[in-house]
Amino acid sequence: MLIVGAGPVGLTLALDLGQRGVRCTLVERNPTSIQLPKMERCNGRTMEIYRRLGIAETVRAAGLPREAPMDVFLTTSLADPPLVHLPYPSVADARADIAAHNDGTRLLEPYQLISQYTLEPLLRSLVERLPSVDVRFGCELLAYTQNSDGVVASIDSGKGPTTLQASYLVGCDGGSSTVRKQAGIQLHGRGGIRTLRQALFYCPDLYERLPFGKGRHYHIARPPLFPFIILQDSTRHWTLHAAAASDAELARIFAASLGMPLPFDVLSVNEWTQHLLCADRYRDGRAFIAGDAAHLVIPTGGLGMNTGVGDAVDLAWKLAGTLAGWGGPGLLESYEPERRPIGLRNIKASGAAMAGRDSWRAARGAEMARLFDAEQRKVTEIQGIEAGYQYVDSPIIWPEDGERPDPDAARYTPTTWPGARLPHVWLEDGTALHDRLGVGYTLLRLGGTSDTWGLENAVRQTGAPLDVLEIGDRAAREVYGCDLVLVRPDLHVAWRGNSAPAEAEAIASRVTGWEGHRPPLPRGEGEA
């Protein structure tokens, strides 16, 4: 495997594949990890993914302290009383709320504020410990070709081009992706919407001097620029976004937004442009794209990197299964029809969040405060967008008749409808059901006396890893709504029912990617 781009998406993909024993080479053209904040929050779904990879607590230890509130404010300056205060729980408080509920409405993990310049080096250090992953910074992909056996890539580490061969190539190389461009994949949507400047400030005294409360986001109601100040994970660093005319102007805007005499240093300034774009394809033969290479969203709503992590975990188990021999051609064929609709959906949600922000900025006085209160909630209270996505019409999900729950609702509603993420449930012994699932498929037996040997045997005949988990737990049965649930390695439901299915072989063939293809080959070993 060759992965291009060592941002959070490429590193998550390498971590997932590496833990599955797949040999990978990860190349990154920059000599070091990113030094700019860019993203600053892993949402709850991403933290569930990181928990499954065994790194959630490591990420939390590096991020914002657990007791820090995540409140959002609209104010005329950081020294003035807020016009609007939207309280949001700290990680510690959110965890207490999760522990107190067992109806499937909460995710297993709350969000975590962590700056990208903290997260990337952390993920890199974890990936570099894996013996199956070769990490090469300062190494650029120049070009690649494909044949029936794999990909031949030309890479340069500064000493001249060399050749590297791999079975598959994944471009996690950002909005200007070399992989996407060489594959002839086009971006469509709204590009170049507006250009802003972002500055990173070191202001160590500000957090403790905030007179009206600590929080995460501070919107400054000063037209026409409406500066936006974001807390970083150290609580001593802050970013400012504004459509400033020059780099120097950002320091003046920050000082005015503080509203009190505090010393600060400007650490960096850079320009960035808002886009709402999605690739017309996510695959070209043996080359795939993920993350910003496949979709570009506006940071409003925090859907960029988090959507990319979803791409990575969807693709990782499918690549691993294909290389191991148990996954049929349909596994990799399903990547685009599963993830591209989610990219389009999240671009739409990001655009709506941006429009809401523009609406309150166009108002004045009490109307501005009223609109902020309404529209900002559409940015921060979107657990349904973050975790309620469903793989509608997926070629590797067993279809079900009836009315599917709304997959685009901002409010999260737990469901085991095929294609949805399996809701979190606490078991009677205090453990999370998610933590009991195997690394492959898991058949949950939640009640009844159905003999599921036929389904179990059909899945195992493909060579796919399968665990069978007997759960005599009333809460789990009530939330999941059926006796049997077949869960994929990425925690999405592949099939469900109340009795052993008569079409067991057809279900197994579909969910492992063999439907419409020749019978599975004997299981092999993962390779590069």
Give the CATH number of the domain where residue 223 resides: 3.30.9.10
Q: How many CA within 13 A on the CB side of residue 310? A: 29
Q: Is 481 exposed, middle or buried (0-12, 13-18, 19+ CB in 10 A)?
A: middle
Beta bridge partners of 487: 442, 493
Residues in the chain: 528
Q: 0.85 cut: is pTM over it? A: yes
Whether the CB-CB separation of 107 and 44 falls below 8 Å is answered with: yes
The alpha carbon dihedral of 209, 213, 218, 224 has a sign of: negative
Q: Say whether both 185 and 328 belong to one domain.
A: yes
Q: Say whether both 151 and 243 belong to one domain.
A: no
Considering the domain boundaries, does residue 386 fall inside one?
no
Looking at residue 528, its pLDDT comes to 47
Tokens standing for residue 142: 């120049």
- What ranges in 325-364 are assigned the alpha helix state H? 329-333, 335-361
Q: Say whether both 153 and 184 belong to one domain.
A: yes
Q: Is 44 exposed, middle or buried (0-12, 13-18, 19+ CB in 10 A)?
A: buried
CA distances from 78 to 201, 224, 258, 388, 442 (A): 15, 18, 5, 35, 51
Q: Say whether both 29 and 81 belong to one domain.
A: no
Q: Say whether both 507 and 492 belong to one domain.
A: yes
Considering the domain boundaries, does residue 30 fall inside one?
yes
Q: Is 72 helix (H, G, I), strand (E, B) or coil?
A: strand
Whether the CB-CB separation of 391 and 338 falls below 8 Å is answered with: yes
Considering the domain boundaries, does residue 57 fall inside one?
yes
Considering the domain boundaries, does residue 527 fall inside one?
no
Q: End of a domain among 219, 254, 273?
A: 273
Q: Say whether both 416 and 445 belong to one domain.
A: yes
What is the distance between the alpha carbons of residues 15 and 119, in angstroms, rounded to a whole number? 13
What is the distance between the alpha carbons of residues 3 and 27, in angstroms, rounded to a whole number? 6
Beta bridge partners of 200: 239, 268
Q: Residue 143: name the closest of 169, 105, 123 by CA.
A: 169
Q: Say whether both 252 and 151 belong to one domain.
A: no
End-to-end CA distance of the chain: 5
Q: End of a domain among 359, 389, 422?
A: 359
Q: Residue 125: name the closest of 170, 172, 66, 59 by CA.
A: 59
Residue 441 is part of a domain; what is its CATH number? Answer: 3.40.30.120
Considering the domain boundaries, does residue 528 fall inside one?
no
Q: Say whether both 131 and 229 belong to one domain.
A: no
Range of the domain at 218: 65-108+194-273
- Helices 304-324/44-52 angle, 10° precision: 30
Residue 366's contacts (CB-CB under 8 Å, 6 or more residues apart) are: none
Q: Say whether both 99 and 203 belong to one domain.
A: yes
Q: What are phi and psi of 276, to 5 degrees?
A: -130, 90
**Residue listed under structure tokens 């302290």:** 65
CA distances from 333 to 19, 117, 149, 155, 284 (A): 23, 34, 17, 27, 11
Q: Say whether both 180 and 198 belong to one domain.
A: no
Q: End of a domain among 223, 245, 273?
A: 273
106-133 per-residue burial string, b: 16 or more CB within 10 A, e: under 16: bbbbbbbbbbbbbbbbbbbebbeebebb
Q: Say whether both 103 and 199 belong to one domain.
A: yes
Q: What angle do CA 482, 326, 126 make, to 5 degrees?
A: 85
Considering the domain boundaries, does residue 520 fall inside one?
no
Residue 162 is part of a domain; what is its CATH number? Answer: 3.50.50.60
Q: What angle do CA 197, 70, 423 make, to 5 degrees?
A: 110
DSSP symbol at 112: E
77: left (phi over 0), alpha (psi -120 to 50) or beta: beta
pLDDT 10s digit of each residue in the chain, 528 long? 999 999 999 999 999 999 999 999 999 999 988 777 777 899 999 999 999 999 999 999 999 999 999 999 999 999 999 999 999 999 999 999 999 999 999 999 999 999 999 999 999 999 999 999 999 999 999 999 999 999 999 999 989 999 999 999 999 999 999 999 999 999 999 999 999 999 999 999 999 999 998 999 999 999 999 999 999 999 999 999 999 999 999 999 999 999 999 999 999 999 999 999 999 999 999 999 999 999 999 998 899 999 999 999 999 999 999 999 999 999 999 999 999 999 999 999 999 999 999 999 999 999 999 999 999 999 999 999 999 999 999 999 999 999 899 999 999 999 999 999 999 999 999 999 999 999 999 999 998 778 999 999 999 999 999 999 999 899 999 999 999 999 999 999 999 999 999 999 999 999 999 999 876 654 444 444
What is the distance between the alpha carbons of residues 140 and 5, in angstroms, rounded to a whole number? 9
Q: Is 239 helix (H, G, I), strand (E, B) or coil?
A: strand
Considering the domain boundaries, does residue 372 fall inside one?
no
What is the distance between the alpha carbons of residues 303 and 379, in angstroms, rounded to a whole number? 10
Considering the domain boundaries, does residue 265 fall inside one?
yes
- What ranges in 194-244 are assigned the alpha helix state H? 206-209
Q: Is 143 exposed, middle or buried (0-12, 13-18, 19+ CB in 10 A)?
A: exposed
Looking at residue 88, its pLDDT comes to 97
What total number of domains does the chain contain?
3
Q: Say whether both 500 and 422 belong to one domain.
A: yes
